[in-house]
């Protein structure tokens, strides 16, 4: 709770009870609730530029640590990180904050989590903003069957590389800070490998993901102090909870089978980076938005922007988010 001397606009940290056990969040501002969900490998801190901007615009912004990350609980079982569980965590956060509904905004895996939350609980999540990863309805072939064919005999797609418990951890754990710096740089507009260089989304057979990370300075959006924050969290928690999200993709495919092909009807917004592989590879999903996101207000591709869009281009993302929220004419419940 906020102390009597603490202004309503100050950043506040708290934990709430969810099916995960304990879930940490940082919140700022008062007004209609906007729930912010990060991706891999990040934390609530990924929304550090959006929290004050949303608060200044008249919203109560709450950025969570997804289960397995930061100060939130880290269940031991791999299958405790399936999508259905993460959605129920989000519902519990809304209730714990004393609200009946919220707008949910997610980036990277958080975009998938936000979309699933809106799909499964339309009465709780009245609008959804999706950053970097486009919405594709549940369905299609089993994910690992598709992923296993990517890359051919000489290399392996990074999502497949993450599937085996302990494999990626063995690469990352000896130098968490260095690995994170390389991963962030590999997907940032100003430091990503040039066209024709080895693609850091793939691992050479028998190699490591970090073998294809760019060498050189940090991306412009990431200071040494920012990197210290991220590294400090993962040096404390390890990466297994975060990686377990990837290890539940087939379970999610089975769990969400009743919703195959289902659109998200609520008001929605998409923002992607024009240089982000997520937007390039999923261009067909963006083209399908008139069917899959019938409530879409706008779809934006930011030129010369990579994957970490709300950190690479915070002012533009803040403007798009606050304009979209204002158009929804939200009121506190």
**Rounded distance between C-alpha atoms, residue 81 and residue 74, angstroms:** 9
Q: What is the rounded distance in angstroms from the CA atom of residue 177 to the CA atom of residue 232? A: 8
Per-residue pLDDT of the chain (333 residues; tens, 9 = 90+): 444 445 557 999 999 999 989 999 999 999 999 999 999 999 999 999 999 999 999 999 999 999 999 999 999 999 999 999 999 999 999 999 999 999 999 999 999 999 999 999 999 999 999 999 999 999 999 998 888 888 778 899 999 999 999 999 999 999 999 999 999 999 999 999 988 898 999 999 889 999 999 988 999 999 999 999 999 999 999 999 999 999 999 999 999 999 999 999 999 999 999 999 999 999 999 999 999 999 999 999 999 999 999 999 999 999 999 999 999 887 765
**Which ranges constitute the DSSP H helices of 256-333?**
277-281, 283-287, 289-292, 309-312, 314-328
Number of Cβ within a 10 Å radius of residue 4: 5
Q: Helix (H, G, I), strand (E, B), or coil: what is residue 18?
A: strand
What are the two backbone dihedrals, phi and then psi, of residue 34, each rounded to the nearest 5 degrees?
-120, 115
pLDDT at 8: 59
Domain boundaries, the chain: 12-328
Q: Is 289 in contact with 265 (CB distance < 8 Å)?
A: no
Per the annotation, the verdict on 121 as an active-site residue is no
pLDDT for res 333: 52
Q: What is the pLDDT of residue 1?
A: 42
- In CATH terms, the fold of domain 12-328 is Rossmann fold (3.40.50)
Tokens describing residue 259: 């919703």
Single out the residue of 123, 124, 209 nearest to residue 161, CA to CA: 209
pLDDT of residue 78: 97
Cβ–Cβ contacts within 10 Å for residue 284, how many? 9
**Of these residues, 24, 38, 201, 307, which one is catalytic?**
307
Give residue 288's region: left, alpha or beta (phi > 0; psi -120 to 50): alpha
CB burial readout 267-280, b (16+ within 10 A) else e: bbbbbbbebbbbbe
107 catalytic? Reply is no
Out of 65, 108, 252, 276, the active site residue is: 108
Assessment of whether the complete model's pTM goes beyond 0.75:
yes
Give the CB-side neighbour count of residue 278, counting CA atoms within 13 A. Answer: 26
Three-state SS letters, 172-232 = HHHHHHHHHHHHHHHCCCCCCCCCCCCCCCEEECCCCHHHHCCCCCCCCCCCHHHHHHHHH
**Selection from 80, 87, 85 nearest residue 118 by Cα:** 87
């Amino acid at each position: 709770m906020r102390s009597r001397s603490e202004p309503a606009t100050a950043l506040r940290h708290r934990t709430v009870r969810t099916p995960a056990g304990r879930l940490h969040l940082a919140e700022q501002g008062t007004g209609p609730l906007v729930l912010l969900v990060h991706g891999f490998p990040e934390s609530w801190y990924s929304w550090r530029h959006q929290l004050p901007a949303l608060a200044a615009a008249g919203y109560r912004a709450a950025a969570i640590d997804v289960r397995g990350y930061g100060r939130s609980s880290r269940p031991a079982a791999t299958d405790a990180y399936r999508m259905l569980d993460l959605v129920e965590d989000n519902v519990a956060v809304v209730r714990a904050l004393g609200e009946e509904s919220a707008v949910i905004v997610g980036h990277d895996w958080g975009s998938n989590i936000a979309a699933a939350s809106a799909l499964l609980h339309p009465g709780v999540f009245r609008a959804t903003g999706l950053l970097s990863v486009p919405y594709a309805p549940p369905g299609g072939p089993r994910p690992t069957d598709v992923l296993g064919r990517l890359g051919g005999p000489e290399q392996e797609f990074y999502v497949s590389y993450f599937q085996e418990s302990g494999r990626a951890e063995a690469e990352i754990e000896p130098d968490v800070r260095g690995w994170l710096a390389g991963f962030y740089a590999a997907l940032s507009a100003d430091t990503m490998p040039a066209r024709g260089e080895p693609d850091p989304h793939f691992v050479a057979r028998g190699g490591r993901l970090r073998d294809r990370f760019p060498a050189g300075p940090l991306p412009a959006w990431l200071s040494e102090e920012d990197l210290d924050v991220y590294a400090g969290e993962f040096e404390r928690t390890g990466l297994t909870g975060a990686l377990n999200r990837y290890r539940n993709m087939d379970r999610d495919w089975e769990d969400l089978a009743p919703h195959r092909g289902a659109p998200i009807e609520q008001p929605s917004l998409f923002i992607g980076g024009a240089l982000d592989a997520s937007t390039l590879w999923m261009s067909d999903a963006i083209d399908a938005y008139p069917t899959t996101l019938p409530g879409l207000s706008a779809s934006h591709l930011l030129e010369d922007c990579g994957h970490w869009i709300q950190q690479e281009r915070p002012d533009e993302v803040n403007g798009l988010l606050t304009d979209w929220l204002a158009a929804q004419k939200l009121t506190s419940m």
